[in-house]
Amino acid sequence: MNLEPSRLETVFLPRIWGARSLAPLFPERTTLPEPIGEAWLTGNDCRFATGPYTGRKLGEAWRAMPAEWTGSRLGGEGTFPLLLKFIFPEDKLSVQVHPDDDYARRYESRQGGRGKTEMWYAVSARPGAEVMVGLKANVTPESFRRAVADGTVEDCLERIAVSAGDAIYVPAGTAHTIGPGLVLCEIQEHSDITYRVYDYDRLTAEGTPRPLHIEKALDVIHFGEQGGGKIEPVRITRGSVTETYYVACRYFATERWEFAERIAAVTQRQHFDLLIVLSGNGRIEWRDAAADYAPAQVWLLPAALGAYQLAPAGPTTLLRTYIPDVNDFVRRLVDQRIEESAWSRLVYP
């Protein structure tokens, strides 16, 4: 089977808090009949648009992929391990929390048994846009429960102002919500388990409130801990590319690449790479072949692809994400003479 970068088709999902225009990422989707909240880039139902798996759904194809595609360290993963999304909130999301892997395995096996640690990259942000991530230090389970009941739960959360290019880390067990005026790229464990604790008294199209999961949320929220928040990235310029490093944990590592001239890169046999094009057009070139890239696309690069080049038609910005060996991630930064005080801010368990 040929090893080649392969593009996935996006699946759009309606959400009560979503937007009716997804421009500029999706300029053809500007007058939508229902609000779209999420664009899934690597959902199990996303089909390959190019490459040897063309027409097949990612979830099905993943189970058949050899190690040359998945990477030598990922052969035991029964389902595709990373879920990438664009999020388009025109209203606040519910205040919510996600379980960790241990809790999900014990209590959510029917939903896949995988927890959800995530990060958000702000593709765009209107003035005043914010997220709320983590609880204030004095919040207890009892005071949180009272705040949920009387509608003051936002007073328990830490507010974070967000500008384009910011990144936020949200480990499992962290209460959070996202405000309007943002377009986010979310990188997460492949799980959709959400415990909703407050939904602003909204009603569905059928006139019913969405279900809440307060007891489970109280089980998994990390009271007295603040493990997430805005990331202080590390930037490195190498030749014609500026690399911005955001985070490395056991589930994913994420970098931003900005370039306006041809750059060369190499995949690692231990893991596949995902490239999410945020802006710019150009070509991915490998061996004796090439394919065009464009904004809002995601490309899966097989682990054993090896050398490839990105030839931009103009300035390009993309995110690269993968499942790292965290020690290798640290070594790369140390080799670039990045101080421990800087790289240690990016590394999580």
* CATH code where residue 166 lies: 2.60.120.10
Query: Among 121, 119, 117, 118, which residue's Cα sits nearest to residue 162?
Result: 121
Q: Based on the fold, state whether residues 249 and 222 are members of the same structural domain.
A: no
Give buried/exposed letters for 96-133 (b at 16+ CB in 10 A, else e).
Answer: bbbbbbebbeeebeeebbbbbbbbbbbbbbeeebbbbb
* pLDDT above 90: residue 286: yes
> Amino acid identity, residue 190?
H
Q: Based on the fold, state whether residues 242 and 173 are members of the same structural domain.
A: no
- Whether 183 is in a domain gets the answer yes
Last residue of a domain, one of 187, 205, 230: 230
* pLDDT above 70: residue 275: yes
Query: Can you give the residue range of the structural domain that contains 268?
Result: 234-346
- Whether 105 is in a domain gets the answer yes
Q: What is the mean pLDDT of residues 88-103?
A: 98
Last residue of a domain, one of 208, 230, 252: 230
* pLDDT above 90: residue 335: yes
- Whether 1 is in a domain gets the answer no
Q: Based on the fold, state whether residues 243 and 294 are members of the same structural domain.
A: yes
Tally of domains in the chain: 2
- Whether 217 is in a domain gets the answer yes
* Confidence band, pLDDT 50/70/90 cuts, at residue 35: very high
Q: Based on the fold, state whether residues 26 and 172 are members of the same structural domain.
A: yes
Q: What is the mean pLDDT of residues 205-232?
A: 94
Q: How far apart are CA 100 and CA 320, in angstroms?
A: 24
Q: How far apart are CA 253 and CA 282, in angstroms?
A: 24
* pLDDT above 90: residue 1: no
- The answer to whether the beta carbons of residues 2 and 42 sit under 8 Å apart is no
* pLDDT above 80: residue 226: no
Q: What is the mean pLDDT of residues 122-131?
A: 98
φ/ψ (deg, to 5) at 85:
-140, 155
> Amino acid identity, residue 92?
K
Q: Based on the fold, state whether residues 177 and 244 are members of the same structural domain.
A: no
- Whether 301 is in a domain gets the answer yes
* pLDDT above 70: residue 10: yes
3-state secondary structure of 93: coil
- Whether 93 is in a domain gets the answer yes
Q: What is the mean pLDDT of residues 137-155?
A: 97
Q: Based on the fold, state whether residues 290 and 302 are members of the same structural domain.
A: yes
- Whether 133 is in a domain gets the answer yes
The model carries a pTM of 0.97
Q: Based on the fold, state whether residues 223 and 239 are members of the same structural domain.
A: no
- Whether 27 is in a domain gets the answer yes
Report the mean per-residue pLDDT for the chain: 97
207-212 long-range Cβ contacts below 8 angstroms, 24+ apart: 210/16, 210/94
Q: Based on the fold, state whether residues 262 and 206 are members of the same structural domain.
A: no
Report CA-CA distances (Å) from 212 to 96, 136, 190, 197. 9, 22, 22, 5
Q: Based on the fold, state whether residues 273 and 137 are members of the same structural domain.
A: no
For the ranges 60-74, 81-95, 245-259, the lowest mean pLDDT is seen at 60-74
Q: How far apart are CA 243 and CA 320, in angstroms?
A: 10
Q: How far apart are CA 236 and CA 245, in angstroms?
A: 8
Q: Based on the fold, state whether residues 62 and 102 are members of the same structural domain.
A: yes
Q: Based on the fold, state whether residues 340 and 212 are members of the same structural domain.
A: no
Catalytic center residues: 196
Q: Based on the fold, state whether residues 186 and 243 are members of the same structural domain.
A: no
Cα 271–chain centre separation: 17
Q: What is residue 76's predicted lDDT score, i.e. its pLDDT?
A: 63
Write out pLDDT tens, residues 177-203.
Answer: 999 999 999 999 999 999 999 999 999
Last residue of a domain, one of 230, 261, 284: 230
